[in-house]
């Protein structure tokens, strides 16, 4: 059953195909139905530069995607799943390469079209903004918007698609086909932005959008660039519960009208949409492909055995009673945040006490990140609450705590921080974890454990810091999540794995490994307040399991308060039965559930 919205999308997409099809011959139209979309046959897949005798990333891959099928690539690990999707973008080498003339994408071969322009990928697993090694200031979205950040969501879309000004400047007159194409694109743009809840945000600076809003905007932009095949890596991550089915509905209608065809990358724990007919399941270097139900039921059997094994070693954490009487770590009374007339947080009253575990909930754009930025001091309105409002942190008025001190008292993991954290050559895992003591981004001090707020550390403190880095590395390092290695290694051998990991360049780690290192950084100083915003982002299933276990089994203590932000209730390490409390933001207002 289609909703009116999806019928409209299909109508628009069909009309778009009609316009497009004039550009191709009848033969090409016929080919769309007969030629495979993706074709890899008995090949190994390597990183570019690796010789054929190197260990391949994937071995003996057999994968055919036919027209009319709907595929999801599901990974037990994020890294491998992303590698398969990158293969479609030509970032890995297939040996032997799929034979010409069809090549990897037979449907693009007649008439020949360039995969670089016809295949697009939107990834939310990859973090690129700090890839050059420089820190970019993610807090700029909270203050006065700088000139270079002033570009609005609408401009970011219209920059390339001149819908408003149908006849472009400069004398060139559009042909009737170009005008018709633009009108169809404009229709698609309006339909998609409205269905994905972006219409009221079109004139906001792009930088002001929340995480989930930005993700939706990136998907719309990719669709507007009219690829033939759109690869979406983890499109559901970071989306709130209500938006997920809407997005899936939109993707289904686009895929069914082949405008564009969609291949979706999902995490093992994501629900697989009903309309997905086929699955490529990536486990290590093996890819199992076939009909969804067959592949998933085989795997479920295997996982049930694994779960039995891991359950045996998991102890449940029950929080101590009496946590409502602990010292307040955060005390907010009538706290507000607004941007001009736009009120993002309204009269928030929330007390967080030591020992408590909170799940901060709310739809995309409801103000969760903004609320956390008040606590970390990243938001300028953290200082400027009007009279009648009050915010105390660690039992002191917020204004009396210098921001550098605040950074050293709060351990934070967030998508913004992960994006912004500099990736520089020569900066090791140990160095990155060591920056957590002072809450900075540049490693420093003797032994790489910072200099403290006074600029020097006593030998005793320095030694404690080094010991703490080793402790979290041993608690969350590879021996806790690399299950295959840990089952064979023992004792010193295990510790050696963590030692080797601690010396690796942070820059060279996979997205999941970087995430777990940033979690270590947040926990290393044993801060009184720990803020975990989308903490599992990019982590493999076994890393998530290991990190949850670590958090529940003493990784954070009863003298520490923890706030978890996640759109997935099952991702929070504690449950209501354990004593977890829930605070929900709804249209700027907050209350405990």
**Among 181, 364, 381, 435, interactor with ligand ATP by CB under 6 A:** 364
Q: What distance in Å separates the CA atoms of residue 408 and residue 390, rounded to the nearest whole number?
A: 22
Binding segment (CB under 6 A) for ligand ATP, from list 62-70, 171-179, 188-196, 209-217: 209-217
Interface stretch with ligand ATP, choices 326-334, 358-366, 469-477, 569-577 (CB under 6 A): 358-366
- Measured between alpha carbons, how far is 540 from 266 in angstroms, rounded to an integer? 12
C-alpha span between 98 and 79 (Å, rounded): 23
Which residue, among 411, 407, 372, has the nearest Cα to 555 in the 3D structure? Answer: 411
Q: Is 114 exposed, middle or buried (0-12, 13-18, 19+ CB in 10 A)?
A: exposed
With respect to ligand ATP, which residue has the nearer C-beta, 94 or 565?
565
Which residue, 123 or 211, is less far from ligand ATP as judged by CB? Answer: 211
CB of 160 to ligand ATP, least distance (A): 22
- What does residue 262 show for φ and ψ, rounded to 5 degrees? -125, 135
- Closest approach of Cβ 210 to ligand ATP, in Å? 3
CB of 528 to ligand ATP, least distance (A): 23
Nearer to ligand ATP, 385 or 510 (CB): 385
- Beta carbons within 8 Å of 494's beta carbon, 6+ residues apart: 479, 486
Residue 114 CA to residue 150 CA, distance in Å, equals 34
- In degrees, rounded to 5, the angle at the alpha carbon of residue 436 between the alpha carbons of residues 432 and 441 is 60
Please tell me the count of residues contacting ligand ATP according to CB under 6 A.
21
Identify the helix (H) or strand (E) that includes residue 265: strand 261-267
Q: Which of residues 119-178 bind ligand ATP (CB under 6 A)?
A: 141, 145
Interaction of residue 381 with ligand ATP, rule CB under 6 A: no
When asked if residue 396 is in the footprint of ligand ATP (CB under 6 A), the reply is no
Minimum CB distance to ligand ATP smaller for 187 or for 588: 588
Establish how many alpha carbons lie within 13 A of residue 19's alpha carbon, considering only the half-sphere containing its beta carbon: 18
Residue 330 CB contacts under 8 Å (≥ 6 apart), including other chains: 350, 351, 352, 375, 391, 392, 393, 529, 561
Structure tokens at 93: 């080498």
Q: Is residue 376 close enough to count as binding ligand ATP by CB under 6 A?
A: no
Q: 548 near 575, Cβ under 8 Å?
A: no
> Would you count residue 209 as binding ligand ATP (CB under 6 A)?
yes
- How far apart are CB 510 and ligand ATP at their closest, in Å? 23
**Candidates 351-359, 366-374, 402-410, 524-532 — which segment interacts with ligand ATP by CB under 6 A?**
366-374
Q: Which of 187, 362, 436, 527 forms a contact with ligand ATP (CB under 6 A)?
A: 362
Nearer to ligand ATP, 192 or 280 (CB): 192
Q: By rule CB under 6 A, what string of x and - marks binding of each residue 177-206 to ligand ATP? A: ------------------------x--x--
Binding mask 210-249 for ligand ATP (x = CB under 6 A): xxxx------------------------------------
Nearer to ligand ATP, 520 or 563 (CB): 563
Shortest distance (Å) from residue 201 CB to ligand ATP: 6
Q: By the 8 A CB rule, do 223 and 192 touch?
A: yes
CB crowding 79-99: b at 16 or more within 10 Å, else e: bbbbbbbbbbeeebbbeeebe
Site track 479-498 with ligand ATP (rule: CB under 6 A), x = hit: --------------------
Distance CA 449, CA 435 (A): 6
State the minimum distance, in angstroms, from the CB of residue 370 to ligand ATP: 3
Q: How far is the CB of 485 from ligand ATP (least distance, A)?
A: 35
Residue 227 or 365: the one with the smaller Cβ distance to ligand ATP is 365
**Does residue 502 bind ligand ATP (CB under 6 A)?**
no
CB of 229: closest distance to ligand ATP in angstroms? Answer: 27
The correct pick among 85, 108, 208, 556 for binding ligand ATP (CB under 6 A) is 208
Give the three-class secondary structure for 476.
helix
Give the separation between CA 4 and CA 342, rounded to whole angstroms.
31
Helix (H, G, I), strand (E, B) or coil at 492: helix
How far, rounded to the nearest angstrom, does the alpha carbon of residue 312 sit from its chain's CA centroid? Answer: 30
- The answer to whether 368 contacts ligand ATP (rule: CB under 6 A) is yes
Region 327-346 residues binding ligand ATP, contact defined as CB under 6 A: 339, 342, 344
Does position 477 interact with ligand ATP (CB under 6 A)? The reply is no
The CB-of-338 to ligand ATP minimum distance in angstroms stands at: 9
Nearest CA to 516 among 563, 569, 472? 472
Q: How far is the CB of 311 from ligand ATP (least distance, A)?
A: 31
Q: Which residue among 265, 355, 365, 527 contacts ligand ATP (CB under 6 A)? A: 365
DSSP string over 420-434 = HS---TT-BHHHHHH
Rounded to an integer, what distance in angstroms lies between the CA atom of residue 542 and that of residue 556?
Answer: 20
Closest CA to 566 of 410, 408, 357, 393: 357
Tell me the closest approach of the beta carbon of residue 410 to ligand ATP, in angstroms.
17
Stretch that binds ligand ATP, among 116-124, 207-215, 298-306, 503-511 (CB under 6 A): 207-215
Q: How far apart are the first and last CA of the chain?
A: 34
Binding residues (CB under 6 A) for ligand ATP: these are 141, 145, 201, 204, 208-213, 339, 342, 344, 362, 364-370
């Amino acid at each position: 059953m289609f909703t009116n919205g999806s019928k409209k999308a299909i109508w628009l997409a069909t009309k778009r195909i009609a316009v497009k099809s004039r550009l191709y011959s009848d033969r090409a139209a016929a080919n769309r139905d007969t030629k495979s979309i993706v074709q890899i046959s008995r090949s190994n897949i390597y990183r570019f530069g690796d010789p054929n005798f190197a260990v391949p990333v994937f071995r003996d891959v057999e994968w055919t995607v036919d027209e009319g099928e709907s595929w999801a690539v599901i990974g037990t690990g994020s890294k491998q799943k992303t590698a398969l999707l990158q293969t479609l973008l030509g970032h890995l080498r297939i040996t032997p390469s799929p034979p010409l003339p069809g090549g990897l994408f037979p449907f693009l071969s007649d008439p020949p079209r360039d995969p670089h322009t016809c295949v697009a990928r939107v990834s939310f697993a990859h973090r690129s903004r700090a890839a050059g090694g420089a820190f970019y200031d993610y807090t700029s979205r909270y203050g006065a918007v700088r000139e270079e950040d002033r570009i609005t969501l609408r401009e970011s879309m219209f920059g390339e698609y001149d819908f408003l000004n149908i006849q472009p400047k400069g004398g060139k007159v559009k042909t009737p086909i170009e005008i018709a194409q633009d009108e169809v694109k404009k229709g698609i743009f309006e339909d998609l932005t409205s269905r994905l809840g972006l219409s009221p945000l079109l004139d906001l600076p792009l930088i002001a959008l929340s995480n989930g809003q930005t993700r939706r905007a990136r998907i719309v932009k990719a669709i507007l660039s009219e690829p033939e095949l759109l690869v979406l890596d983890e499109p559901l991550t970071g989306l709130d519960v209500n938006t997920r089915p809407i997005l899936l509905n939109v993707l289904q209608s686009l895929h069914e009208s082949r405008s564009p065809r969609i291949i979706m990358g999902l995490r093992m724990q994501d629900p697989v949409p009903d309309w997905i007919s086929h699955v490529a399941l990536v486990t290590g270097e093996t890819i199992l492909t076939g009909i969804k139900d067959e592949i998933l039921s085989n795997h479920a059997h295997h996982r049930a055995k694994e779960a039995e094994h891991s359950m045996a070693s998991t102890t449940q954490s029950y929080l101590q009673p009496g946590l409502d009487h602990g010292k307040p770590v955060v005390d907010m009374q009538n706290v507000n945040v607004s941007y001009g007339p736009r009120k993002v947080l309204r009269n928030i009253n929330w007390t967080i006490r030591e020992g408590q575990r909170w799940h901060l909930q709310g739809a995309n754009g409801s103000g969760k990140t903004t609320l956390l930025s008040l606590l970390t001091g990243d938001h300028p309105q953290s200082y400027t609450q009007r009279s009648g409002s009050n915010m105390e942190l660690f039992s002191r008025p917020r204004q009396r705590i210098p921001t550098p001190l605040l950074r050293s008292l709060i351990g934070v993991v967030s998508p913004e921080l992960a994006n912004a954290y500099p990736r520089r050559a020569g900066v090791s895992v140990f160095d990155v974890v060591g920056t957590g003591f002072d809450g900075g981004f540049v490693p420093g001090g003797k032994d790489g454990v910072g200099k403290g707020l006074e600029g020097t550390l006593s030998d005793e403190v320095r030694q404690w810091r080094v010991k703490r880095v080793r402790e979290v590395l041993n608690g969350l390092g590879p021996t806790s999540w690399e299950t295959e290695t840990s089952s064979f290694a023992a004792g010193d051998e295990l510790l050696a794995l963590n030692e080797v990991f601690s010396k690796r360049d942070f820059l060279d780690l996979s997205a999941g490994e970087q995430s777990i290192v940033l979690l270590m950084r947040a926990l290393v100083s044993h801060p009184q307040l720990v803020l975990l915003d989308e903490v599992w982002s990019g982590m493999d299933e076994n890393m998530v399991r290991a990190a949850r276990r670590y958090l529940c089994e003493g990784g954070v203590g009863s003298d520490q308060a923890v706030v978890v932000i996640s759109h997935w209730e099952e991702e929070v390490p504690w449950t209501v039965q354990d004593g977890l409390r829930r605070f929900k933001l709804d249209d700027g207002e907050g209350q405990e559930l």
